[in-house]
Structure 1
Amino acid sequence: MPSPKAKNPSRSGGSPVLGSSNGRYDFRQGSDPTTARLRCPESPTRRRALSSLLAIDLWLSKQLGVCACEDSSWGSVRPLMKLIEVSGHGIPWLAGTAYCLYKSDSAAGQEVMLNLFMGLLFDLVLVTIVKAVVRRRRPAHNRMDMFATFSVDRYSFPSGHATRAAMCGRFLLAHLVLAAPLRVLILLWVGLVGLSRVLLGRHNVTDVVFGFWMGYCQYNVVEMLWLSPQTLVILWNFF
């Protein structure tokens, strides 16, 4: 006669499997018999895929960091890359926009410059928050000799230069009347700013790619929260 315990595996301390017949998910008992844990057997595969993508990102970023120092393979181009780096820095953009806002003698020009200034502030705050939350270290081959850095700049994700370049590029193309060569020049500048971040070893490839996407979306927020001329008059009188 079979033992009564064989009819009830839960009494023998086993781990009964509950769930669908294809075994995608199962519930296993822990130390407390009244609790159950949902385990997804696909998670190790996803972790391996993410680890592989991260390894490719780190390897590719290291291979492209050809201007990380003077003795790198493209070390002679490093001064030019650093000049492009300064052109995408937040301080020159904020100072230049504030100056244009002060000197503008038309309501339309003041409106455009004010919204660009607010967009730059929004970009600065958002990038700072994301960097503080993610806390991804900069590439090991990077040399910390950047212009006007802050404590949060020791983190790499996302690239603030890339977010700023993407947002400002869309803004200028949408709100300034420019000839075709100047529009091409702006697009070229945006691409060079992102490329310089990887060539200088400042960021990994994914930092720049995500930064471009983030800056592209930031411009949409700026358009949604656009300050009208009436709001400009109110702010101008207040200050």
Structure 2
Amino acid sequence: MPSPKAKNPLRSGGSPVLGNSNGRFEFMSLNRTPPPHLIQRQGSDTTTARLRASESPTRRRGSGSSTGSTSGQGMPEEDCMRLNPSILGIALSSLLAIDLWLSKCLGVCACEDSSWGSIRPLMKLIEISGHGIPWLVGTAYCIYKSDSTAGQEVMLNLFMALLLDLVLVGIVKASVRRRRPVHNRMDMFATFSVDRYSFPSGHATRAAMCGRFLLAHLVLAAPLRVLVLLWAGTVGLSRVLLGRHNVTDVLFGFWMGYCQYNLVEMLWLSPQALQALLGQLE
């Protein structure tokens, strides 16, 4: 007759009977492991839920803001400077444009076909009057013909001032290397290699320096002083009318020549100083 326990395999809180071993019952837990296809399905559902959470609007907004902030902070400083140019750069560019435009408008004697081409020979004569070679030759002749010591002293310092002007203007032209205006014709008298550059105007520096020198040491009469001033101004104006220089080249040349005279006064050579210098060289 079978045991009553074999007829009731399940009890409240118990587990189903799997079998007996050595007269002892073995039970299987009710919390059994789900089948493999259920585990795979649950894993795919969890992955889908995570992807949807990552693609939520809040997450997208956060990532967009962080990317924007990173890109804003990572912008190169050079690009920021190009987008926001300095006031000084804008002012210099505007002045350069005005300088080129005004120089082209004033170059009315640049060639024979220009509006004032008929007075071009006169402008070229004024150009020669401010050239360095006539001044050097004339000053050397005055030194040779002078009878007084005072006259030789003045002419000697003028000769040294002309040499100083040539050296300083050549250094500045070779350093800046600004080209001459495009409407210029290179038919100047006795040019050198640095004369293909425009800044500053050597005629303007020489006119300003020699004008101050003549007014301080040679010319005393009022009409002659006015003529010296008119000559210096006309030499500078002829450089622009002939198309040789821009306006800024002439203006800077006048300022440079004015300052060169102060340097000449500081380095003034007296006859005694010259004789001592020549004695040391011998």
TM-score interval (norm. to shorter)? 0.7 to 0.9
Judged with a 3 Å threshold, the aligned counterparts in structure 2 of structure 1 residues 207 and 15 are, in CA distance, closer, same or farther, namely same
TM-score computed with the length of structure 2 as normaliser:
0.70
1:220 matched to 2:267 = no
TM-score computed with the length of structure 1 as normaliser:
0.82
User: Matches of 1:52 and 1:89 in 2, distance apart?
Assistant: 32
Show the counterpart of 1:62.
Answer: 104
- Residues 112-132 of structure 1: per-residue CA shift (max 9 Å, x gap): 011101110000000000000
Show the counterpart of 1:121.
Answer: 163
Show the counterpart of 2:119.
Answer: 77
- Runs of 5+ unmatched residues, structure 1: 1-11, 17-27, 31-38
Show the counterpart of 1:5.
Answer: none
Show the counterpart of 1:21.
Answer: none
Higher relative contact order (CA 8 A, sep 6+): 1
- Residues 87-107 of structure 1: per-residue CA shift (max 9 Å, x gap): 000000011111111111111
- Residues 5-33 of structure 1: per-residue CA shift (max 9 Å, x gap): xxxxxxx78749xxxxxxxxxxx988xxx
Count of residue correspondences: 219
Indicate if the aligned counterparts of 2:219 and 2:225 stay in contact, CA closer than 8 A.
Answer: no
Q: Please state whether the residue corresponding to 1:131 is helix, strand or coil.
A: helix
1:207 matched to 2:207 = no
By how many angstroms is 1:41 displaced? 8.8
Structure number with larger C-alpha Rg? 2
- Runs of 5+ unmatched residues, structure 2: 1-69
1:181 matched to 2:223 = yes
- Within 5 A, what are the aligned runs for 1:154-173? 154-173=196-215
Indicate if the aligned counterparts of 2:205 and 2:257 stay in contact, CA closer than 8 A.
Answer: yes
Judged with a 3 Å threshold, the aligned counterparts in structure 2 of structure 1 residues 233 and 57 are, in CA distance, closer, same or farther, namely same
By how many angstroms is 1:177 displaced? 4.0
Counterpart residue type for residue 152 of structure 1: V
- Residues 16-67 of structure 1: per-residue CA shift (max 9 Å, x gap): 9xxxxxxxxxxx988xxxxxxxx79975332121111101000000000000
Name which of 114, 139, 159 aligns with 2:181: 139
Name which of 132, 150, 164 aligns with 1:108: 150
Counterpart residue type for residue 130 of structure 2: G
Counterpart residue type for residue 104 of structure 1: S
Show the counterpart of 1:4.
Answer: none
Q: Percent identity?
A: 81
Q: Please state whether the residue corresponding to 1:137 is helix, strand or coil.
A: coil
Judged with a 3 Å threshold, the aligned counterparts in structure 2 of structure 1 residues 86 and 48 are, in CA distance, closer, same or farther, namely same
Indicate if the aligned counterparts of 1:111 and 1:232 stay in contact, CA closer than 8 A.
Answer: no
Indicate if the aligned counterparts of 2:206 and 2:257 stay in contact, CA closer than 8 A.
Answer: yes
RMSD (Å) for aligned C-alpha atoms: 2.8
Judged with a 3 Å threshold, the aligned counterparts in structure 2 of structure 1 residues 47 and 108 are, in CA distance, closer, same or farther, namely same
